[in-house]
Amino acid sequence: MNRFTSAARVRLLLFLSLPLAFGACREARTANYRIPKEHPAGPAPAATAAASSAPAPAVTVAARPVGDLTWTAPTPWKAKPTSSMRRGSFDVGEGTGPLADLAITVFPGDVGGDLANVNRWRGQLNLPPIAEADLASALQPVTGGKMAIRVADLSGGTADNPQRMLSAIVPHGGSTWFFKLTGPAAIVGTEKARFLEFLATVAPAPASVEAPAATSAPAPMMGAVTPPPGAIAAAAAIPNLRWEAPAHWQAKPASALRKGTYILTDAAGGSAELAITAFPGAVGGELANVNRWRGQLQLPPVEAGALAASITRFTAHGLPVAVVEFTGGPEGSQRLLGAMVPCNGATWFFKLTGPDALVAAEKPAFLSFLQSLSAP
């Protein structure tokens, strides 16, 4: 296995994974796939304007069907373009300062289960994980609606940047929907009553209703890649690579967005995620992908002249592999190991993100995993 030289230990960050590809093939020990994260780790910037403590009355507009669920959004919420990752997206709050963000996503299965999801959200707010025995009190049911919905209300961040997150779990039709409102604590607290009323409007969409066609090209969310027309079909035709995953990595089911997903855990209950995706072409090139990952870890972009120093290169069974490593996020608490592998006119991305110590401990296994890559 090739190792990084000390000069090659980069300080680039990441948190992305270009989630957008499909089935994967692997050798006998290789496990499968899973779903992408809704947004980069770490809290949003602190609000600069104080929000009113009294929740505003919910004012709704016409329901907007998306996929197989519909909802009725409050009028003050500002709808944003959807993306390959988001089924719905809103700016929430008022004033000139940073707003809260509502992200609506859906993935096959239970996405690792309630405890894994709650602890993932807690990690994004710099909170320690909870145990299974504490899960029941961490999730509260939403009353008055047509769906079985439970909500986690989490407060964290830092003393000078308090953050709050309201995350709803909505199982439906063999998949799990997530409605996650994140942002400055004052804004999220003010919007909680309105958010709960919004969740009560969530309902299964009639089979005959289709989502409206987009009137303009959707703006990509941070860390996501919006493919050009036909890219999804083209990605499905990308020949699969083979690999051998370490036995202690937990494989997750495949999805339309991932070629593979693995969950890595430690004794303290922390978890990291390896996302494997593939896209036709160069996907913007190495510099664009490196800087997108850096943005996910709240790191500034690098210039083209500094790119070479950020990348460690080696070859695995004839495949060129470019690896970057960043630490960032709140107080440097997150680490990202990312690899770009061009093959047969496509680019594969292998992105391991999670708590700094956990990802650092898994780095030898990650590099060994990359060394096992081979083309069919």
Instruction: Look at the domain 69-204 and name its fold.
Output: Protein Transport Mog1p; Chain A (3.40.1000)
Instruction: Report helix, strand or coil for 227.
Output: coil
From residue 236, alpha-carbon distances to 183, 194, 240, 278 in Å are 35, 40, 9, 9
Residue 147: its pLDDT value, please? 86
Residue 234: its pLDDT value, please? 56
User: Where are the strands (E) in the chain, listed by range?
Assistant: 69-70, 78-79, 88-92, 100-108, 140-141, 150-158, 161-172, 175-184, 203-204, 250-251, 260-265, 271-280, 312-316, 319-328, 334-343, 346-355
**Exposed/middle/buried for residue 346 (C-beta within 10 Å: 0-12, 13-18, 19+):** buried
Which amino acid is it at 319?
L
What's the rounded Cα separation, in Å, for the pair 151 and 63?
21
Residue 331: its pLDDT value, please? 77
Domain ranges of the chain: 6-38+222-371, 69-204
Handedness of CA 132, 136, 137, 139 (dihedral sign): positive
Residue 366: its pLDDT value, please? 96
CATH assignment of 6-38+222-371, among 1.10.730, 3.40.1000, 3.30.360, 1.20.120? 3.40.1000
**Exposed/middle/buried for residue 211 (C-beta within 10 Å: 0-12, 13-18, 19+):** middle
Q: Is-same-fold flag (6-38+222-371; 69-204)?
A: yes
The encoded tokens of residue 175 equal: 């998949």
**pTM beyond 0.75, yes or no:** no
What's the rounded Cα separation, in Å, for the pair 85 and 57?
30
Residue 40: its pLDDT value, please? 38
Pairing of strands 260-265, 150-158: unpaired
Residue 86: its pLDDT value, please? 82
Residue ranges for the chain with pLDDT beneath 50: 1-67, 208-231
